[in-house]
Structure formats: structure tokens, C-alpha cells
Amino acid sequence: MRLSNKILLAGIAFVIVISASLSAYINKELNRSIAISGSTYFEVKKGATIGSIAHYLNELDLLPISTRLFRYYGVVTSGAGSIKAGEYELVPGMNVKDLLLLVRSGKVRQRQITFLEGWTFRQWRDYLRGKSDINQTLEPETDRGVMKLLGKPRLHPEGQFFPDTYHYIKGENDIEILRRAHKKLESVMEQQWQSRTIGDVLQNPYEALILASIVEKETGYSPDRSRVARVFLNRLGKNIRLQSDPTVIYGLGDNFDGNLRRAHLNEPHPYNTYVNEALPPTPICMPGMAAIQATLRAEPGAFLFFVARGDGSSYFSLNLDEHNRAVNRYQKLPLQKEGPTDGYRSSRP
């Protein structure tokens, strides 16, 4: 073999050895774990590059390799996909390769917001407004304006959003969270209405939603929800006024100081079920699934009254005489002329 060929082969062998060594070194470096001991979040801004991500991670002291090597690997693997903006979660054991796969996957961190049963639309808006990680777009909008943005300009917002936990990403618009909650409410009401067992006392799903909101506000004691709903359904069927304190309180709005008086029961407004027959014009809160199901599948019975026992539960009566006896038994203090009322749970027919 000629000397020149030997030199060429030696050179090729040297290059192969060096390349293999370099590849092994790079692979070893890229498999090094990110320097974190617990879940850590970082945000990739819109328009970010491999270089800017490397610089940011280095500033946070999270990058276990040189920024130059990180950029090199990002460039040579660019065919795997583009960088996607968003908030990402780094977990212990994740290496540099995992990190690059993550920011190219778009699997951004999902945050949570929970709306409770019984909240009003005002409370929903206040709660959303207090979330600094949600993009606030609704501040200048009236309630009617919010519903217009949702494509329901003629729909009153109360009761139109289902209480639940919703996921969102950092910077998401508040209206999008409300949109999901409204769609969830529509889906729930359609399903529950189809499976109702209460006959034709309620004419449509909206009436059911109104009554469910009253049931939601009247009791938090789950074993009583179905009977509470039955009392209202029986009253509606007999054209007896509902006489529900929560509807009166809702109608008073900002004028309610926490003390419901007899005088309030005579004030003429659409939500005063002591004055008006039938249901109020809209729901009075966002009812949860339990209240909706209790309303549409209320247990059979002829109850027309109920009175609070004082332990969270209620006593249910078939007629006024029985109810009066229950009031005398469970209500320790008589009602004062201008004192708090007990609504239809008093001795009113």
C-alpha cells in the first residue's frame, strides 16, 4: 500500500474517532439533567428563538450545558418543529433534549380556575378580574355587552354559566373562559331536561334553570335538595306564591344590608316571590349539577312548606297546621315586625 493511501486511511480513521468522540460528548451533554429540584415554570415569549431561550435559561441558572451547544443542537434539529410560545413546566429528571421537545410540542402549562355553585354573575366577573394571569378584555363591557360578545345579546347572564373547574393558559382572554362555561351550561341543561321526571310543571329548560337557582340558594344540605325542589314544584302547580327569601334578596341588589325585613317582602319588584306569583324572570345565581338534578328529578311528595331545623336540615310539612307546629318547635325566637323573616318557611300559606 502506498504511503499516501496509508496517510489517507489514517486521516479518515482519525476523523471517525474524533467525530465519534465528539458525538458521544455532545450526546452525553444533551442528556444531562436540568438543574432543578422541583417543578419549575418558564415562559417562551412569542417570536422567541433557540438563542433567546438559551440565554433566558442561562440567566435562570437552569441550563446544564453551554448556550453555544444548546443553540447548535437546536439548529441541527430544527426539522423537528418550530418553537411555540407559552408557559412550560420543567420537572426533575428532564434533560436538554426533553426541554427542546417540550417547547416544540406546544404542551403549555394548563392553569385552573374554579367557579363555585351559587355564585352570581357579578361574583364571576369579580373573580375573573382578580386573575392577573388572565387577559382582561371585559372590564369596559356591561353584562349585556358580555352576552353580546358570546352571541347571546338577548339572554340575561345570570345562571348562564356552569359552576366548575376550567383550564386555561396564561394570557388567555377572559371571554374565552366564559364561553366554555356557557357551552357547558347549555350541554348540561339539555341532557338533564331530557331525563326529567317531574312532568310538565316547568315548561322549558329555562324555567328549570330558574328554579334550580332558587333551590341552590335555599339549601346547602344535599339530602334536602330534592324535597325543597318538590315544595316549589307543588306550589307552582297549585298557583301558590313561592315566598322565597333568596329571590327577594337578589332583587334588592346593593340595597340589601344583610338583614331581610318584613318591609322588604312588600316591595314591588320582579324578584319578589312574596308579591308575584310563579317564577322570577331570571335565575338568581349559577346553580350546580346537584341543584339542577334535584329540580328535574325531584322526589314525589305533597309537601308545601319547610322550616329550618337549625342544624342545616329542614322539616317538611304537608299543610299549614303541621307547618305552624314545626315553626313553633324549630324557630326559637318569634319574628319581629321589622326583624328578619323566614320567608315561605314562616306560617304564611
Q: Locate the domains of the chain by residue range.
A: 31-105, 111-190, 195-345
Q: Are 121 and 286 in contact (CB under 8 A)?
A: yes
User: Pick the residue with more confidence: 220 or 196?
Assistant: 196
Nearest to 311 by CA among 214, 219, 228: 219
Computed over its alpha carbons, how large is the radius of gyration of the chain?
Answer: 32
Record the pTM.
0.82
- Strands (E) across the chain are located at 40-44, 86-90, 111-114, 165-168, 305-308, 314-317
CATH number of 31-105: 3.30.1490.480
What integer is the mean pLDDT of 279-300?
97
Given a cut of 90, whether residue 23 has pLDDT beyond it is: no
In this predicted model, what pLDDT tens digit does every residue of 215-256 receive, in sequence order? 999 998 999 999 999 999 999 999 999 999 999 999 999 888
Range of 46-55, 260-269, 293-302 with top mean pLDDT: 293-302
What integer is the mean pLDDT of 72-82?
82
In this structure, is the dihedral angle defined by the CA atoms of residues 175, 178, 184 and 188, taken in order, positive or negative?
A: negative
Q: Are 207 and 201 in contact (CB under 8 A)?
A: no
Burial class of 297 by CB neighbour count within 10 A (0 to 12, 13 to 18, 19+): middle
